[in-house]
Amino acid sequence: MSHSAPCEVYDRLRDLFSFKPDLVLYDITSTYFEGAGPADFAKHGYSRDGKPRNVQIVVGVVMVAGWPIAHHVWEGNRLDHTTVQEVVEDLRKRFDFGRLIFVGDRGMITEENLESLARDGQGYLIGVKRRRNQNLEEWLAAIDDRKWTVCPVGINARERKVDPPRTRAQEVPSGDPGMRVIISERGQGI
């Protein structure tokens, strides 16, 4: 099952404030059952909870401007990257979005998903895997040590307490006019 009704909060924001978001945050988690769970959904799959012997379900949540607007529930053995196109299509059908910018983690990214988003005129913001990335060496070689921008709040709650923050970022040429590449680095005492 991967369908949820339109969110009344989203409808009110859209109507009251001419709210037309274009940035969509999407994440997946799983939750396990101590018992059998629902027969049609409870399956063994990748356990984020360290409970590989327990059956589970997979839950996806879509956020827009800090508001949860949709959720999806799948069988416990559903792989993250297999949900992306289904969720994007669902959002386009149920909500009056123009162009979406899809934000997802590395587990949701496949060449097929990126090609589908680009083909449909959607944008995306993703983290890339360091291994098996043909362009990474070229991007890293393009770093200019004079052009780093320090990220003042860091990248997590622990780093917010560090002074100065240890994360910095820099845009480098991507080699593709339709793509921007930003390298981030976390180090000691930057």
Domains for the chain: give ranges and CATH numbers: 1-127 (3.90.350.10), 131-190 (no CATH)
pTM, whole model, 2 decimals? Answer: 0.72
**Digit-coded pLDDT (tens) for 34-85:** 999 998 899 999 998 899 999 999 999 988 877 788 899 999 999 999 999 9
Q: Which tokens go with 168?
A: 């910095």
Angle at 77 between CA 73 and CA 80, to 5 degrees: 65
Q: What pLDDT band is residue 189 in, cutting at 50, 70 and 90? A: very low
47 near 30, Cβ under 8 Å? yes
